[in-house]
Every structure is written in structure tokens, then in C-alpha cells.
Amino acid sequence: MTDPIRLSKRLIELVGCSRREAELFIEGGWVTVDGEVIDEPQFKVDTQKVELDKDAKATAPEPVTLLLHAPAGVDAETAMQSLGAETLSEEHRYGKRPLKGHFLRLNASADLQANASGLLVFTQDWKILRKLTADASKIEQEYVVEVEGDMAAHGLNRLNHGLTYKGKELPAVKASWQNENRLRFAMKNPQPGIIALLCQAVGLKVIAMRRIRIGGVSIGKVPVGQWRYLSAKEKF
């Protein structure tokens, strides 16, 4: 009986590639052990069947961006811990191969309003991270806000044109009724607590809020606590 060896070493023996190529094949999700994708070069194997996908490419995996429908009141660091293959939205699993490497070296951006649920972005792509941080003041965010109370006279008009509340100037936003107790707010780089303050200024109390969009990217039909990949066609 032989001692278990690293998967990368076994792959080198099987296909005659270099060590770096073996690592890239494995990290890219092109190698299976007894039919299961293993993306860790240090994984130990002995008598298992190791196979390399016929379409394998020895290239570094593309950086990924994950879109999480975060529960209310959860900070980004805690939310990141819920990311895993098992929480990928069922509707968005087709053609996807979640790899362990997809959940490493992720950066969070664009914090939610306090006690809000909704879209949180985690990315490995420095270009997207730079876009969401350097251009934050130019990117519109959209929230759906459940409220109670009676809106002050001309309240919607005041929200859309800017108002002063308790001596503080509040920014103009795009506000509209979604239904009798839900407002839509669209605004660029909303400061912490600003939506609750805007609602108070027109006589409303926030019951719940959810971010549904950042720029051109919406959370879509992803259940709370689950996530999906950003597609190549989507742009913030």
C-alpha cells in the first residue's frame, strides 16, 4: 500500500504536466476525484480515480463577484461567512461550478442602510471594487421601503426636490409609491441613516427596507440568505 500523495503530484504523474499547470488545472475546477470536483492541489489521494476534464485549461481562474441577498441587520463581515456552494440560489445553479477559491480574497463594498436587507456585493475583481468605491457618488442605489403613518402634504414632491428637517438639509431623491405602504427610493451614495431621516421628515416611520439595485445590477429573484454570480453582461 502506498502513502497518500498530493492531488497535484498525482495529476503530474497522470498527464505529464508541470507543477504549476497541475495547480492551475485543479484550482480551475477541471479535476475530479472519484467523480467529485476537487479544487485544492494539496488534497491527498491514494487509490481514488483522478481525471482531468478534456476541455481543461491551465489558466488562473477568473475573479468572481457574488451578489448576496443579505438578511436585515447583518453586517458585511458576518454576511460573508454565509457564502458557500450550499447557499447558491437554486435558480442560478445551472452551468455554475462553485469552487472553494470563489470564496477567498473577497472584498465587500457599498454597505447597506442600518437594519436593511438586500443586495450586498462581494468581489475578487479589483476593477469592480474600484468602480464601486471610487465612483460611489455616481452610482445610483435603489431601496424599497415599507413605511407606516400619514405622509405630510406634498411629501412626495418635497422628497423629490430636497427639504430641510430639524435644521438639516436633506438631498433630493427619486421617490415614488410602489403601493400604499411601500416607497421606492433611488439615490446616489446614500449616507448612513439618510432614508430613515427622509421618511421622518415627511411624517413616515420605516418598518423595513431592502436594497434591490446598485447601478445596473439588481439582486433579482434570489431568496434571503442566498446569492448568485454576477454575469458577464451585468455592469454596475
Residue extents of the structural domains in the chain: 5-52, 65-137+216-229, 140-214
d(CA 227, CA 220): 10
Q: Which of 173, 170, 177 is nearest to 147 (CA)?
A: 177
Least confident of 52-61, 192-201, 205-214: 52-61
H/E stretch holding 214 reads: strand 205-214
| Residue 82's pLDDT band (cuts 50, 70, 90) | very high
Q: Which of 46, 43, 4, 5 is nearest to 23 (CA)?
A: 43
Q: Which residues contact 235 (CB under 8 A, 6 or more apart)?
A: 215, 216, 217
d(CA 112, CA 195): 11
Cell of 212: 434591490
pLDDT of 60 > 90? The answer is: no
d(CA 91, CA 8): 33
pLDDT for res 21: 94
Percentage of the residues of the chain whose pLDDT score is greater than 70 = 99
d(CA 218, CA 119): 7
Average pLDDT over residues 105-124: 94
Evaluate whether 152 touches 200 at the Cβ level (below 8 Å).
no
pLDDT per residue as tens digits for the range 34-56: 988 898 899 999 989 999 999 89
Q: Where does residue 182 rank: exposed (0-12), middle (13-18), buried (19+ CB within 10 A)?
A: middle
Average pLDDT over residues 121-129: 96
Evaluate whether 116 touches 143 at the Cβ level (below 8 Å).
yes
Average pLDDT over residues 80-102: 89
CATH class belonging to 140-214: alpha beta
pLDDT of 96 > 80? The answer is: no
Whether 140-214 and 65-137+216-229 are alike in CATH topology: the answer is: yes
CATH number of 65-137+216-229: 3.30.70.580
What CATH fold (topology level) applies to the domain 5-52? 3.10.290
pTM for the full predicted model: 0.83
pLDDT of 101 > 90? The answer is: no
